[in-house]
């Protein structure tokens, strides 16, 4: 029994060694860069690896909704990337592949921005970058994706996607005090954004299922 398990493990290693190398390389590269940046800037390495609430001695529920939103950004990016790889291997229509690939990249960037507050603080110590410039860049990316994949986009549940964008816009409207909310300002701003993230993730989950089923079941049913 043990010999059989050992033999099977060796076969797996010989067959999948590239995947193993990549899986180990990614965290090693990230940790190496983190170590170098921490030493170069004189930052305690623990501040770069531990949970923010542990460092700042916050409550376990601090940032609860914000943290939950990160899960759904990550889910969106993962779903889109997985589907893009699947569509590529299945030689699916190019526009389907492009839609999921670009959506995955955009979801990843938006999630990265949400985690590190890139549009607010990330470059503040280097050079001031107006927050509006980030929003303009994101809007350009969204329009770009829709234009190049327009026909494929119309085949999806684009109403759900539009509702997600509307929620993001409402969050921005509250943030910029275009509509003044005197009580619980942060709750409404983050609440609209969180709802938008959920709708965004739901849209891409439904779209991914639709594209995949078109290639694994007759007539996509």
Q: Taking the CB of residue 16, how many other CB atoms lie within 10 A of it?
A: 11
pLDDT of 52: 84
Phi/psi of residue 182, each to 5°?
-70, -40
Q: Identify the band that residue 122 occupies on the pLDDT scale cut at 50, 70 and 90.
A: low
Q: Are 164 and 207 in contact (CB under 8 A)?
A: no
Q: Which of 41-55, 100-114, 137-151 has the lowest mean pLDDT?
A: 41-55
pLDDT of 220: 47
Domains of the chain: which residue ranges?
Answer: 1-49, 59-220
Average pLDDT, rounded, for the chain: 89
Quick: pLDDT tens for 24-75.
999 999 999 999 999 998 989 998 998 888 888 888 888 899 999 999 999 9
Q: What is the pTM of this model?
A: 0.87
Alpha-carbon torsion 162, 165, 169, 170, what sign?
positive
Identity of the highest mean pLDDT range in 52-66, 97-111, 114-128, 129-143: 97-111
């Amino acid at each position: 029994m043990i010999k059989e398990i050992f033999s099977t493990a060796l076969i797996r290693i010989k067959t999948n060694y590239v995947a193993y190398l990549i899986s180990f390389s990614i965290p090693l590269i990230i940790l190496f860069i983190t170590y170098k940046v921490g030493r170069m800037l004189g930052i305690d390495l623990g501040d770069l690896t531990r949970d923010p609430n542990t460092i700042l001695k916050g409550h376990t529920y601090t940032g609860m909704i914000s943290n939950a939103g990160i899960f759904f950004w990550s889910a969106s990016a993962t779903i889109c990337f997985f589907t893009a790889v699947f569509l590529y291997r299945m030689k699916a229509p190019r526009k389907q592949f492009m839609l999921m690939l670009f959506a995955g990249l955009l979801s990843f960037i938006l999630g990265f921005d949400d985690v590190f507050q890139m549009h607010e603080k990330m470059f503040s110590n280097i050079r001031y970058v107006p927050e509006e410039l980030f929003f303009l860049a994101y809007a350009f990316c969204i329009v770009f994706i829709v234009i190049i994949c327009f026909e494929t986009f119309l085949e999806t549940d684009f109403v759900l996607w539009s509702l997600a964008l509307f929620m993001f816009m409402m969050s921005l409207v509250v943030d910029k005090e275009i509509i003044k909310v005197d009580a619980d300002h942060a709750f409404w701003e983050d609440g609209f954004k969180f709802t938008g993230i959920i709708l965004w993730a739901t849209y891409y989950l439904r779209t991914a299922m639709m594209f995949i089923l078109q290639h694994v079941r007759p007539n996509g049913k």
